[in-house]
Every structure is written in structure tokens, then in C-alpha cells.
Amino acid sequence: MPGSETAATGQRFDVNLSILFTELPLLERPAAAAAAGFTAVELWWPWADAPAPEQSRLDALQRAIEGAGMQLVGLNFYAGQLPGPDRGALSIPGEESERFRANIDVATGFAESLGCKALNALYGNRVEGVDPAVQDELALENLVLAARAADRIGATLLIETLNKPESPLYPLVSAPAAIEVVEGVNKATGLGNARFLMDLYHLSRNGEDLPSVIEQYAARTGHVQIADNPGRGAPGTGSLPLEELLGLLRKAGYDGWVGLEYKPGDRPSAEAFDWLPLKARAAR
């Protein structure tokens, strides 16, 4: 796939600054992505210690993104420590779900300040000794709050599948499981703004039939993320047929953003995009 013009045709790519360019301080990453030829970025919630950080931290990040001429196209709500074992907060009773709720207005306000129209809510791990039905009820309550907040700024709420080998306590480890939550949120709110985040790396690690997933769920997908498998590296470093899968997404009518959410490997992040022609990196 390296250098493939076909893979890039018709796609809009963004860079996830929470997994790429992490060798740099957070505020230097937008400019580094711009120097690599990109015009759009996404982020996990940048402050694992602070669901509601000081306004000065938010302002500094906003200036860094705007100053680099970047478009923010995706933002996670607070989800604990990422990467790490926490894997979400909104379904975890007690302090974590309270931290998620405290973050809702902060995250949507930050997204709005940069014109970001997609907010990702990681579901949260199962907790030993807690009835899964209790967690699911709490999750729905919090997702409804998040969907309503996203709707107020004209944004989509994204629900993501992770993979069982890396996140064994995370309950949404299949596309149908995530779609069921999407449908539940949309039914509860009547807004219709909850959508599926189709991460092809996580789905492949779960052993799903990716062409079938694309055929069934592309119309309900609000965002796509890619990494190769095995290894979660750049396209071409593993065996996942990403060029073919991106083509299937285009044929299925998906014309949204494709987030590059992979590890750069044993090299600087700026060298991890040789598979993607320079002219295909800039998109609006």
C-alpha cells in the first residue's frame, strides 16, 4: 500500500495527535501535523487528570490548533487514562461517571470553539461486583446527556467498538454491540445524532468480517479510524487490506473523515506517512 494513489482517492484523512507526534509536547503537535502536510486532526481527551481543566489550558490548545491552520474534526470525551487500562468512564458508577458528566459541557464547549462536529464517548469497562445491567443503565443516562450536549452544537455523538485482546473488560467488542447502543441512545433522545465509530483495527482484532461490517453499517457510521493489524502500525506494516477496505467504504457511500490512529513505530511520527501521497493529506 505504500505510495498508493488509489487508497487516497476520495478520502479525507486526519491525524490523531494522541497517538501520533506524541514524541512532542501537546501544544507542538498541531504544527508538526501541518508540517507533514495535513490540515485536520483529532484528539483523545488530552488531560487524563482533569475532565474540567483550567480555561488557560483549553485556550492554549485552541491557539495551537488554530495557529497551525488545523481543523479539529474529532474529540473524545473524558475517558480516564488513554492509552491504558481504564478504557472509558461513563458506565462506571461513582467518581468516574461523575468526572465524565463534569466533562460533557467542557468538551462540547471546546469542540464548538474549533468547529468540531464529532465527539467520541468510550463506554467504560465492566467493574467486578457491579451488575452489568446497572452499568448499562448508567451508560444510557450519560450517553443521553452527551448526545443532547452534542446536538446543541450541531455535533454527532460517536460510539466505538474496542477489541477484546487489548480491552478484555470493555463490553462493546463487536460492531453489532456498538450499533445496539447507538440505536438505544437515538431512541431515548429522539435526536438521531448518535453514530457508529468504525475502527477497522479494533474490528479486525475481534475477528470480524470487515467487508460485511462495512456493507451493513457504513450508513450508520459517523467516523472511521484505521491502523494496520497486527501491530497497530501504519498501513502496509501489517496484513490488513486497508486499501481494499477504504474502497469498500467509498462504494458504500461513506464520505466522512478517516482518522489515522496508528503507532509510528520505531521512527519519528513525521516519517510514518510514506504510504500516503503528500497531495492526499490536505483536505477540507
Question: Residue 2's pLDDT band (boundaries 50, 70, 90)?
Answer: very low
Locate the domains of the chain by residue range: 5-269
Report how far residue 257's alpha carbon sits from residue 242's, in angstroms, rounded to the nearest whole number.
15
pTM of the model: 0.95
pLDDT at 70 over 60: yes
Q: What is the pLDDT of residue 284?
A: 58
Q: What is the pLDDT of residue 5?
A: 43
Q: What is the pLDDT of residue 36?
A: 98
pLDDT at 128 over 50: yes
pLDDT at 102 over 80: yes
Question: Residue 10's pLDDT band (boundaries 50, 70, 90)?
Answer: confident
5 included as an active-site residue: no
Per-residue pLDDT of 138-196, as tens digits, reads 999 999 999 999 999 999 999 999 999 999 999 999 999 999 999 999 999 999 999 99
Identify the CATH homologous superfamily for domain 5-269: Divalent-metal-dependent TIM barrel enzymes (3.20.20.150)
Q: What is the pLDDT of residue 211?
A: 98
Calculate mean pLDDT across residues 24-37. 98
Which of 42, 96, 160, 208 is flagged as catalytic?
A: 160
Which of 42, 96, 208, 261 is flagged as catalytic?
A: 261
54 included as an active-site residue: no
pLDDT at 49 over 60: yes
User: Rounded mean pLDDT of the chain?
Assistant: 95
Cα angle, residue 139 at apex, residues 142 and 93 outer, rounded to 5°: 95
Calculate mean pLDDT across residues 69-84. 92
Q: What is the pLDDT of residue 272?
A: 98
Percentage of the chain surpassing pLDDT 70? 96
The radius of gyration of the chain from alpha carbons, rounded to an integer in Å, stands at 18
